[in-house]
């Protein structure tokens, strides 16, 4: 990770992304709390998160749009638009204005897909291949670290100052990200227009995911695991209530413990990817994630805390492996469409499993559901490990070009 952070170009991008990720971590949970405060309804508060996720159905189309522009200018505009999108929150004054929060959540969901897809391409263009895992690990470390305090800070900010402060903080993060990206020096050429119609071009990302064996295995493995991972959104409350006999707010303590593991996993993820390859590292991460759920079968803090730390450690291994193999195995001109298609393919089963988990938790013992989750992830982990030869270990970061030695020409994006 130190190698990639020594590069001035990535350090600048990293600073901007830290600002935007901080704003996001403060914003999302606080929006749901705001809706709960205005309506008194748990269901309407939960619908806020659904409003953010719902635009994922448009991901292939959004990916097609992303691939029609150069990454740097697209990201500058997308971040500034994301900041503007938050300004209607200033108009929210009561229960009748809840629709504004939902509309902002949907618009934010759209911008998140676009920014995420374009960012994958920009990182690929900005860095040599041997530093991609380090870059993804650095970003995942920050994201996991923000889980420790971001949502609590957002809730505290909303309580102290009100909802308008959320718009200010979120917009400031996006503007700072846009400024950082504006300062980047990277040479890009305009993308070539495809010969087929827009529908054929939009589907090209999904076709690439299916046609590339290593990438297909990782995407399918993550999607299969998420068919059961979503159960945890509901059954963690049963674990805290029925198992630990603690109030619902204690879930925040569990999430904090998972965040500690995630922070450690983010720091170590690039090393595992280099040693095992992306498919092997994803398999190991999945195994640790599943082992953590297995530890929650026994409702005791002496077992539960270490278990969620282990689960948290495994998560960044999966995420960094996923991002790195996407960048290494995807042509630059397809990056936006492939990343957006992958997001859609993995978020659909996750959304489905959240609904199934909410139904099952009332009729099936939570310990049985944790056992099902652990077993399912164990099977996926074994399947990924068996395919580790599909992706050889990434080149060592030490082989990367020294940041002190300028390149003859910046990497172009087709």
pTM to 2 decimal places:
0.80
Q: Which residues contact 136 (CB under 8 A, 6 or more apart)?
A: 123, 269, 270, 319, 320, 323, 324, 327
Give the containing element (helix H, strand E) for 272: helix 251-295
Q: If we measure between CA atoms, which residue out of 170, 153, 149 comes closest to residue 101?
A: 170
How many Å is the Cα radius of gyration of the chain? 21
pLDDT of residue 204: 83
Structure tokens at 226: 């998420």
Where do the structural domains in the chain lie, given as residue ranges?
1-186, 203-397
What count of other Cβ atoms lies within 10 Å of the Cβ of residue 162? 11
Superfamily holding 1-186: MFS general substrate transporter like domains (1.20.1250.20)
Superfamily holding 203-397: MFS general substrate transporter like domains (1.20.1250.20)
pLDDT of residue 316: 93
- Asked whether the domain spanning 203-397 has the same topology as the one spanning 1-186, the reply is yes
pLDDT of residue 198: 59
Cα 240 from Cα 180, distance rounded (Å): 42
pLDDT of residue 411: 34
pLDDT along the chain (414 residues), means of 10: 84 91 80 81 72 81 86 92 92 89 91 89 88 90 80 75 82 93 80 62 82 92 90 82 82 82 92 93 95 93 93 94 92 86 82 81 89 95 94 58 39 33
């Amino acid at each position: 990770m130190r190698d990639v952070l020594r590069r001035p170009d990535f350090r600048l991008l990293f600073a901007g992304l830290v600002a935007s990720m901080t704003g996001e971590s403060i914003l999302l949970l606080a929006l749901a709390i705001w809706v709960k405060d205005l309506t008194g309804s748990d269901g309407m508060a939960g619908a806020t998160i659904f409003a953010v996720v719902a635009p994922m159905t448009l991901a292939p189309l959004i990916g097609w749009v992303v691939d029609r522009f150069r990454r740097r200018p697209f990201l500058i505009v997308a971040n500034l638009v994301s900041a503007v999108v938050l300004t209607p929150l200033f108009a929210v004054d009561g229960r009748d204005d809840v629709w504004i929060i939902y509309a902002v959540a949907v618009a934010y969901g759209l911008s998140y897909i676009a920014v995420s897809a374009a960012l994958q391409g920009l990182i690929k263009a900005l860095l040599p291949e041997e530093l991609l895992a380090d870059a993804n690990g650095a970003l995942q470390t920050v994201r996991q670290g923000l889980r420790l305090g971001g949502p609590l800070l957002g809730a505290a900010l909303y309580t102290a100052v009100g909802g308008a402060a959320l718009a200010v903080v979120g917009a400031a993060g996006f503007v700072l990200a846009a400024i950082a990206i504006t300062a980047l020096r990277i040479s890009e050429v305009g993308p070539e227009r495809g010969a087929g119609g827009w529908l054929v071009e939009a589907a090209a990302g999904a076709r690439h995911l299916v046609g590339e064996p290593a990438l297909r295995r990782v995407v399918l493995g993550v999607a299969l695991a998420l068919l059961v991972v979503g159960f945890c959104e509901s059954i963690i409350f049963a674990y805290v209530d029925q198992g630990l006999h603690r109030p619902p707010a204690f879930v925040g303590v569990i999430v904090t413990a998972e965040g500690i593991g995630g922070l450690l996993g983010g720091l170590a993820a690039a090393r595992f990817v280099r040693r095992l390859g992306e498919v092997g590292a994803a398999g190991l991460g999945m195994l640790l994630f599943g082992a953590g759920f297995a530890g929650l079968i026994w409702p005791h803090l002496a077992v539960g805390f270490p278990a969620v730390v282990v689960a948290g450690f495994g998560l960044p291994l999966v995420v960094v492996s996923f991002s790195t193999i996407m960048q290494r195995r995807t042509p630059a001109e397809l990056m936006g469409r492939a990343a957006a298609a992958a997001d859609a393919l993995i978020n659909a089963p996750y959304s489905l499993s959240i609904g199934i988990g909410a139904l099952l938790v009332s009729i099936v013992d939570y310990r049985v559901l944790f056992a099902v989750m652990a077993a399912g992830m164990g099977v996926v982990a074994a399947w990924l490990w068996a395919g580790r030869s599909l992706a050889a270990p990434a080149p060592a970061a030490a082989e990367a070009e020294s940041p002190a030695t300028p390149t003859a020409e910046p990497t172009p994006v087709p």
